[in-house]
Amino acid sequence: MAVNLRGRSFLKLLDFTPEEIRYLLDLSKELKLLKRTGMLHDKLKGKNIVLLFEKTSTRTRCSFEVAGRDLGLGVTYLDSAGSQMGKKESVADTARVLGRMYDGIEYRGFSQEVVEELAKFAGVPVWNGLTDEFHPTQMIADLLTIEEKLGRLKEINFVYMGDARNNMGNSLMVACAKMGINFTACAPKELFPTEELVEKCKQIAKENESTITLTENVKEGTKNADVIYTDVWVSMGEPDEVWESRLKLLLPYQVNKEVMNNAKKEAIFMHCLPAYHDLKTKVGKEIGEKFGLSELEVTDEVFEGKQSVVFDEAENRMHSIKAIILATIGA
């Protein structure tokens, strides 16, 4: 059956079939080609979208802004201090107001319930630009990048190292299960995803002929990997106090040369970014100096090395977000 995503919200990948995800990947590729060849694609001229950000962002915000403008959309950006939402107006009321003015709403914030509530009341597509639980727009960019770099998704061995129960760990496990990629979370058991989500993903993976593995063993977990992926060890919204315990848990899971050498020769390194691969950031410097470290979740050598595809991955955020907007608003 032909895929039609018009009017749908994009809240988490669990809501989408592999065929629908495939459709978004193919549309991302088409739009990337149009952009690269300088062909106009302002198919949504005359429509408007609003971006609500309760947490900071570089990639997601800029992707929505550039993608929106390329599609001919008017774009409004509101940060947490810039609207009444939450303080003076409920999520449901905000959704009903914005839904009368805009053709789509992006939300980045804390709880998944908020983005689900916005979608329930808005009457227009709502896109999850990251919550504590899921980061689904990042998934389309990541799948696109894997397919571009390795030529396929099926039978890929994907290893996620680090905080496997954060928004990235959760989302990547779901994305892999949906697309028939073998997923391994290589992490301390304290940071494994919830049993409920793991069981759900195991069931989905089985339908798509792939596997879900959780291991604390770095040597075994990263052997034969096609993709090594990591994310920051402390996510937005977590208190600074967690750094100490997180470092203790996660230092053995740093992506370094030894890890990359244990993976397949042609393996790629991925990271959703931003990354603490050196001390050239305020937080990186503070944490590095406090704990005597020069790099955190990934070494500078791996980040800057030949196997790293992080900036192609970052570019793909824009192409894939454009596909999500176009598919759900509909030309």
Residues belonging to the active site = 108, 135, 138, 231, 272, 317
Residue number, 167 or 184, with CB nearest to ligand NVA: 167
DSSP-assigned states of every residue in 76-93: EEEETTSS-BTTTB-HHH
Compute the least distance from the CB of residue 231 to ligand CP, in Å: 9
58 binds, among ligand NVA, ligand CP, none (CB under 5 to 8 A by kind): ligand CP
Segment near ligand NVA (CB under 6 A); pick from 93-101, 161-169, 218-226, 297-305:
161-169
Question: Which residues fall within 8 angstroms of residue 88, CB to CB, at 6 or more apart?
Answer: none
Amino acid in the structure at residue 128: N
Segment near ligand CP (CB under 6 A); pick from 6-14, 53-61, 158-166, 251-259:
53-61
Residue ranges of the alpha helices (H) in the chain?
A: 18-36, 59-70, 91-101, 112-122, 136-150, 167-179, 195-207, 218-222, 242-250, 257-262, 282-291, 300-303, 310-329
Q: Choose, by CB under 6 A, the member of 12, 32, 35, 59 that binds ligand CP.
A: 59
Binders in 164-183 for ligand NVA, by CB under 6 A: 166-168
35 binds ligand CP (CB under 6 A): no
Does 293 belong to an annotated binding site? Answer: no
Residue number, 125 or 129, with CB nearest to ligand CP: 129
231 binds, among ligand CP, ligand NVA, none (CB under 5 to 8 A by kind): ligand NVA
328 binds ligand CP (CB under 6 A): no
Compute the least distance from the CB of residue 138 to ligand CP, in Å: 6
166 binds, among ligand CP, ligand NVA, none (CB under 5 to 8 A by kind): ligand NVA
Angle at 270 between CA 185 and CA 306, to 5 degrees: 130
| Residue from 298, 142, 161 nearest 222 by CA | 161
Does 317 belong to an annotated binding site? Answer: yes
How far is 292 from 159, CA to CA, in rounded Å?
27
Residue number, 273 or 293, with CB nearest to ligand CP: 273
Does 273 belong to an annotated binding site? Answer: yes
Compute the least distance from the CB of residue 163 to ligand NVA, in Å: 7
How far is 105 from 9, CA to CA, in rounded Å?
9
Q: Which helix (H) or strand (E) holds 127?
A: strand 126-128
Amino acid in the structure at residue 251: L
143 binds ligand CP (CB under 6 A): no
| Residue from 137, 171, 155, 160 nearest 63 by CA | 137
How far is 251 from 96, CA to CA, in rounded Å?
46
- Tell me, what DSSP letter sits at residue 193? P
- Known binding-site residues for L-ornithine equal 167, 231, 235-236
Residues that bind ligand NVA (CB under 6 A): 130, 166-168, 231-232, 235-236, 272
